[in-house]
Amino acid sequence: MDESIIRVPFYASTSAWRTKAQLQGLLRNHPSVIADSGLLAAPGTIFSTARLSLHNSESALALGMNPLGGGGSVGLMSVEGPEPTLQGATHIRWLDLPPDVFVSSVDWCDDHLLLGSTRGRILLVKAGPYSVTESGEALDPSRCLASGDTQPMVGDIIVAPSSHAVSTLVRSVRCNAEVNSSSVVGVVESRAMVWDLEGDLHPVRAWTPGVSTEVKNNGQHEVLLFANWAPHCDSIVLTGGYEGSLILTDTRADNTRGHGLTLPMRRGYMARCADFNTLLPFVVAAASSDGTISVFDCRFPEHAVRTISSLQGDVASLRWLRLHSDLLATGGIDGTVAMWNLRFPPTYCVGRAQYKYPVVDLAATLSSVEQRLFGVTSGGELTLTGLALPALSALASWPSSRAKPQQVGEDKPHLRERESRGVGLLYARRLREAYEIITDCAMERFTRKDTAVAMALVALTDVMLVPKFDYKEMIEEKVGRLFALEETSHTQALEVFDELLTRSSERLCMTLPLRKVRDLMKPNPEDVKKLEALRLNLLLQRVLYTGNPEAVIAGVQFFAANAGNLELVDTDTACGIARMLLRVNYVEGEKFIRAFLSLLIQQDGTVLARTLTRRLLIVVQEPLMTEGLPPRQAKRREERFLRNLVAAQEAVHVQLNILGMGIE
């Protein structure tokens, strides 16, 4: 284990209030961090450009490499397998680039590879995951997208002595695979452009991002470093610039200068990279060249909701982990890949992997339960970083710790440890094991009358509905000056964001496409049924305190309609509700009993839950049948009444009608 990266006595003196995860984040290559690497080139080779892109199917990885000595190439690597590994690195198919081609950016677009290059060109190469095993060593572009009518070389461009250095590189290229895979956005110098792959070779839109019309540096606009599509949008683009601008632009507008939103990044430092949160699409993180990470909630764009000092120097790449709303990773020029959890202040760092060369690009796995980050360094290292399962599970938020048991003196440490393990497995997306443990713990809590903890555990299995957010509407409101009318305070924005972040980290989100998660073991159907029955029992218990049966009737009907086992319904609770309602609110009590009995006794006479049915029938007939009788005689009369449950049900209906008339 390497020495701590922090040498300030303050950190050592306050370690008592730091969590275990934070202390692990202060150490390079802690055992909880998965850090694997392999060289792609001869030792000592330095690359001026190294980029990578993971295919949407997560079965192939593309690498664009340009060594300082020239002779760049594109590599295609297979990453198929039960979990992401670097085993395919020994069988990479390398395609040599033409002499005049310098790769500056890489992205997949279905069965094509997009290569940003010099002279404002984007090369389209027919390639997909199947291309990894094909033969051939030369790159053969099928098309070439151009940024302008001419494609001058750098040496042919006349530059004023007072101007900054000119470049014709396409610094960033991104396909809008989520909405329209034929739309491609790229940046050249100070302009962002959108191409239509089904149309002309020239851009269909081009603009210079900026809310104001001011021009700096002797008439030159700010150089752009990247452009990304906003989630679920076909016209909103996020761009970052050399002077620190971070701007969301609506490309539909004829004049984009007035149709953009500037996020408050630190000016004077390059906005190197940014990435949108997969589960919370209105959250975006960006990194500056001074090593600062800024997280924005675009519902409240006036301030950053998190500002983190990465201690990595210049942050070259940033990626959210796709299955978690609170985890992101950054690659720095100090050769580290740092893992950050937004719920762990003040350091936020929960893991740090150290490599030999600066990490210049990262790609997060899209659909693997074993979440990993592929990376590439300027020294030709291919890296793989992640958190081990115990360390990842330890990051889970434990809601039962906030719900105090009703019987504190009898709380068993082993039960709380088991609950913590179940919550951790759910956070790590180990659904089968998580549901099994959470179900057992919740059932035990319910048996011990720890209703608050049981409800907290059952609530973990709820799928969270992420608030809808439309970037187009947000920018239109901003243009209409609606933001100036009522601006949310920074404190309120932080409270809303923190609450949403906690809930989304505890539960699965609607934006998480579980069917696309590879090797995801679905919960055992029996555990799911038990949880739903427990949820119903908790709902029944709540009625004993509130006296409102409407939600219970709907809950029972929904439970039965979805093949729920009514044997799991708590008999004492259901009968207690029936007695209470018949005494306090007869109309609602009659409705509750009729609805419940109709589910318990089918039209063909089948009884689904015999014990519950018998007890519920006796609740209505109890005063008439047993009042004033000795216990043994009352028991015999009840048994005679329950010999034919269908007839007993009819008798109960008659009795309910009589009582409803006020006749006793």
Sequence spans of domains, the chain: 18-154+165-393, 399-516, 538-660
Q: Using one digit for the tens of pLDDT, what is the confidence trace for 411-451?
A: 578 888 899 999 999 999 999 999 999 999 988 888 887 87
More confident residue, 121 or 219: 121
CA distances from 563 to 537, 566, 570, 573, 603 (A): 16, 9, 17, 21, 17
Residue count of the chain? 664
Which one is predicted more confidently, 86 or 661? Answer: 86
Comparing 190-194, 431-435, 471-475, the range with the smallest average pLDDT is: 471-475
- Rounded CA separation 206/298 (Å): 24
500 sits in which H/E element: helix 490-506
Cα 50 to Cα 378: distance, rounded to the nearest angstrom: 6
Is pTM, for the whole model, over 0.75?
yes
The pLDDT, as a whole number, for residue 553 is 67
On the question of pLDDT at 43 being above 90, the answer is: no
Stretch (H or E) spanning 382? strand 381-387
DSSP-derived secondary structure letter, 195: E
Q: What angle, 0 to 180 degrees and rounded to 10, lies between the N-to-C axes of helices 451-459 and 413-427? A: 20
Residue 164 is predicted with a pLDDT of: 63
Alpha carbon 51 to chain centroid, angstroms:
24
Rounded alpha-carbon distances, angstroms, from residue 32 to 25, 157, 346, 366: 9, 52, 20, 22
Average of pLDDT values for 554-579?
Answer: 71
Q: Which helix (H) or strand (E) covers residue 354, if one does?
A: strand 349-354
Task: Specify the range with the lowest mean pLDDT, choosing from 198-207, 534-543, 569-578.
Answer: 534-543
What pLDDT does residue 35 have?
A: 94
What does R_g of the chain's alpha carbons equal in angstroms?
31
Give the span between the Cα atoms of 408 and 418, in whole angstroms. 17
Residue-wise pLDDT for 619-645, tens only, equals: 777 766 656 667 777 777 777 777 778
Q: What is the arithmetic mean of pLDDT over 159-182?
A: 81
Choose between 321 and 602: higher pLDDT.
Answer: 321
Find out whether 22 and 391 touch, Cβ atoms under 8 Å: no
Higher local confidence (pLDDT), 205 or 585? 205
pLDDT tier at 163 (50, 70, 90 boundaries)? low
Rounded Cα distance between 180 and 233, Å, is 9
Task: Provide the pLDDT for residue 124.
Answer: 92
The answer on pLDDT for 242 being more than 70 is yes
Closest Cα to residue 203, out of 220, 190, 186, 224?
186
Q: Distances from the Cα of 528 to the Cαs of 365, 433, 460, 559, in angstroms?
A: 28, 12, 12, 11
Q: Could you report the per-residue pLDDT of 89-145, keeping only the tens digit for each?
A: 888 999 888 887 889 999 999 889 999 998 889 999 998 888 888 877 778 888 899
The single residue listed with the structure tokens 């940003």 is: 116
H helical segments located in 71-141? none
On average, the pLDDT of the chain sits at: 82
Q: Does 2.130.10.10 match the CATH number of domain 18-154+165-393? A: yes
